[in-house]
Each structure stands twice: as structure tokens, then as C-alpha cells.
Structure 1
Amino acid sequence: MNSKIKDSDIKISFIVAVFNIEVFVSECIESLIHQTYRNIEIILIDDGSTDNSGKICDQYASKDSRVRTIHQKNRGLSEARNTGMRNATGDYIGFVDGDDIVSLECARIAVETLKRSPCDILFWKYKQFIEAKQCYDNQTSVRDYRRVNSPKCLEELLLHNLNEEVWNGIYKKTIAVTEKFPAKKQNEDVFWKYRVILKANDIGFISDQLYFYRIRPGSITQSPFSWKRFDSLEGRYIRTKNIIENYPELKATALSEIYAEAMFLYSDVVSSLHGEERKLGLKRINYYLDKLPFRFSEILFSDKISKMRKVTLVLSKISFAATSRLKVFILKRLGRDVFGTH
């Protein structure tokens, strides 16, 4: 790998969705404008903020020519990202949530990796944080790199070896812009990420932690039950069907993933809703699962699915309700985040 690269080689567009995060947005932008690799653009999408977030974005744009602010009426995260993609001029696109932070070496390490081994998508590791001072380190080189094809990457996604979110990597613009994020959907990443992977030929993975995801009260993933949680199940249903159509060999893995999500959602519905609302919630879960039947042989003879998933899938045929409660109970006893880890 070359120790030096020219800034003119590859341009990365970082799309930052911003909505009412005036307390955090400066830390996010600072982590981008101080990238050690300079050939980047930073597109700040102010999605109708009612606090000072938009003004802060404008201040940075007035000082750095690589920064652009686009103000729009509040249309949600998906439309903010779609706006960013329409305006991106880079060779690759990266997505950043406006309250998160990117390693100062992110762009440099990404470009060095792409120059050594060109690929359509490059993924890296991420780390959760609460305070920004936890994020900055001295990573200077790629410790581990591997390259896979589309079906292998999809398998990693279904097995949760690759996270659902889109912000842990960069995507070749010519591929990324062919897919739009779904409007007015929560868990929009579930609908988008796999479709781009389907269109990619080569996907790279590096072991460095280059993205830092902020944990804070009030964020979507920290909120109580909402009917929007069913967006995640809908997205997984569509994803499962499409993956099976393209790669039948991934059927067992795809089915095991959506059944696992349905079990966690079932537990959430039962513990959060009552009466007719509970009945409606359970009916919606069954609607998707009834369209995705499986045979025991498809599951039992798969060498990709864990024993835990195999057992729960088989038991779910006997009693989906009892199996869901048992699985959540066991994971809680093990100290697992049952709504974040499948």
C-alpha cells in the first residue's frame, strides 16, 4: 500500500443528515473538515430544523469551500439522504448522522484501501460512544482487509456480522444513486443497504473502527415501542424475498433472520400493547411470516445457521408465541440486548 496518495485521486462525498441537534452537530462537522485526506465534500442537509442546527451548518459552509448546506422542509431522514445523493459530486458516497463522529483518518484509510484493491463498497467497524473525547485515536493503517462478492456480503448482513446501518462504509456513487431511501419509513437502512449490495461486484471489509455512533436519550433506537417498528419487519420481508430470488442458496439464512426479528417484535407487542391493538400487532406479524413458509430440512441441514436459530425456528412451528417468549427470556438472562442483537 502506498504511504502517500494524491488528493486528486478519489473524491468522497459525506452526506450529513441534520435535524434539531444543535448540541452535537459541530462535533460531527469538525470530525469531517479535519480529515487528514482533503479531497472530500461535506453536504449538510438541514431537514427543517427548528433550533440553531441550520445556522451552525451555514457557519461552517461560509468558512470551508468543501462544505455545502442544503435547507429543506422536514421530510425525514430518508429524504434528507436522497437529497444529499442528488447533489453529491464525489466518486464515493458516505452517510453520517449529524450527532455522530467520524475518525479523522477515515477518508485517508478508505482511499488508500481503494487504491490498493478497488471495490464498489468498502465497510469498516464502528464503536458506540457517549462523550466525543472517547472517539479520537491514532489509527494510521489498515490492520486487516478482506474482499468478498455480493452473496457472501449478504450472508454477513443476514448473520449480523455486518450491521444494518448504512453509515459504516462508503458506496460507489454510480451504484448508490440508483436506489432511493424509502420515504416515511423507520429503519430505512434495512430497505436500502441490501439493494446496493445486490448491485455490487466486489465489497471490501477493513477492521479499523472509523465511525463513532453516539448513544443518547431520545434517539430512534433508544425510544419506546412505536408502530413504526413494523417498518423493520416489512423491510426484512421485502429483503428476504429479493435475496431468495437472487441467491436461493441463502434461503435458510434469510428466513432465520426474519423469524428472529419477528420473535423480538412479538415479545415487544405482547409486553407493550393490549386488547385490540395487541391483536392487530400479532396479526401483522403473522401476515409476513405466513408468506415465508419453510421446511424443516431447509433449516436443519444448513451449516450457516447457529444452533440457537435452528432450535427456535423448529420450535416456532409448534408454538411461535411460546418460542418467542422463551428466546427473549434466555437472551435477557444472558445479558443480551434483545432488541439490538438477534
Structure 2
Amino acid sequence: MTSFDETVAAAARARQNSLTKPPGSLGRLEELAVFLAGWQGRERPRLDRAQAVVFAGNHGIVAQGVNPFPAEVTALMVQNFRAGGAAINQLCAVAGAELTVVPLKLETPTGDFTQGPAMTPDEVDEAMQAGAEAVDPEADILLLGEMGIGNSTVAAALAAATFDGWVEDWVGPGTGATSEVMERKIRAVTAGLVRHKPADTRATLAAFGGREQAAICGAILRARELRIPVILDGFICTAAAAVLTRDDPEALAHCLIGHESVEPGHHRLIAVLGMRPVLSLDMRLGEGSGAAVALMVLKGAVACHNGMATFAEAGIG
């Protein structure tokens, strides 16, 4: 597995310290530029080719009444993405990212994890492979998002299975659950955790699903092979990615969390992962929207890193 290039990162830090500004005065923008440099293996990183991928899947857990919307909405939103009518389309246009939408067997929802496994091991592998194949090998950065009615319940189950804690701490309102729906979500996740005791990444994905979460994992692993830094979106995307740490605690070292969602479990997930979101804007939409906004900040960081004059070039000092 590829690793952070410390030599390149040191050169990038040295460049930052030679630019026409007090050292550290651009704060986190400097850190982000060095992060990108070390993972891309370039002293001057680039973000000319940004790819955003939204994976979509359907979930058998909706049979437990955990979402106020029917599963058919997933396919309708995929159509909206492809027609250019969603928030992610507008944000990608502004941020300069190419959007790829990958629906994953929407006509065949995963199993209801309160009754049995959500997926077979083969289905997990198939979804992970689909995620890996969606990654553009020429991309400079990869933005990941998801769409799937019921997948905030899946995310809560994945987070609870990976990091333990009270179920109530991981379950949130998602698309706007009423108190009654929230109670059903808590019951469903609790029942799933009683039924399933997975010990590794693939077993956890098989137990709780869904296909889009497994695809996110596959895309992250492929991006690591290709030295492509990744921007994760909110709670659902981060919960999916975090399952990879069951096999490798450093699996997300090349990833940034684009924003801190107001979904309650995301704050806890960020804390246990020890990661720092790029932004906190009270967003909770999903579909990669927070990752796309974070890309704009990263582009600012790279522009300053690459374009500013050094003190020597400016004849100062």
C-alpha cells in the first residue's frame, strides 16, 4: 500500500516557509497543501482533474419503517443527478469537479439486517469492485458521496459495530425522521447488533450493507493504490469509510473529511477517528455536497502554495 511521502512533504513545508507571508499565517491552508503534496508525491500538488462520485443503493431495512420516504426516491434522485438538478451538480460545477453517478442494483435492495445479513460476501466484493472501477486513475483528487433511502440507519449500524457505544449516540434524524421513526431506527440498529457480531471490514459490510457503502470502501482502497487523496462527505460516507479501519487503522490516512455534518453521530465519528473536518457549515444533505464545498477550500490552498512568490523571488529580505 502506498504511503505518505515525507521527503516531498518536507520540501512542500520548506516552500510554505519561504513564501511572502509570515510562516503559518495561512493556517490550515498550509497544512492542506502539504497533505496533498505528500500523498500525490509532488512538491507542488495539483487539483486540475477532480472527480466526484456518488454511489446509490437501496436497503431492505426500510421495511422496518426507518425512513419517511419510500425506496423509489433513490432512483428518482439518481435521475435528478444525471439531469443536473441536484445540489451536488451545482456545487461540482462551481468547484470544477466532474460528477460520476453509480447506481448499484437499485432494483434489488440489500437484505433487512434485523432478519439476516444485508449482503453475501460475494455481493460485498462485487460492490467494492464497482467502487474501485469507478475511480478515474488520472484524477488528482476524489470526492465521495452517496444516495440511498434508509442509509442513515445503515450508517448508524456500521458505526456502532465498528466503534461500539450506545446505539442512541449513533442514530440521527437522517432525512427528517419523526420521533416515532427515530424509535424504529434505534430498535432496528439494536436488533441488528444483537444478531450480527462481525469482526472485520467485509463481514461488517455484509452484515449491515449497503452496496453504496461497500462501493465507497472499494473506491478508497483503489484511490490509495493510485496515490489519489480523497475527500469524504458527511456521516454516511464517513461511517462507510471507517469500516476499513477494522482491517487497517491507517486505511484513511489519505482521506480528508470534507465537513462536519449536523447529524449527531458524525461528531462522535470524527472524534473517534481523530480526524479534523475541513469545514463545519451545518450541512446534512449527503450526495457529496460537503466534499464539493471543501474542494473549493483545497483549491485555494493549492493556488497559494503554487502561485505565491517566495521572498527571494519578490526581492524581499
Q: Shared fold by TM > 0.5?
A: no
Q: Which has the higher contact order (CA 8 A, sep 6+)?
A: 2
**Larger radius of gyration between Structure 1 and Structure 2:** 1
TM-score (norm 2): 0.23
Structure (1 or 2) with the greater strand fraction: 1
TM-score (norm 1): 0.22
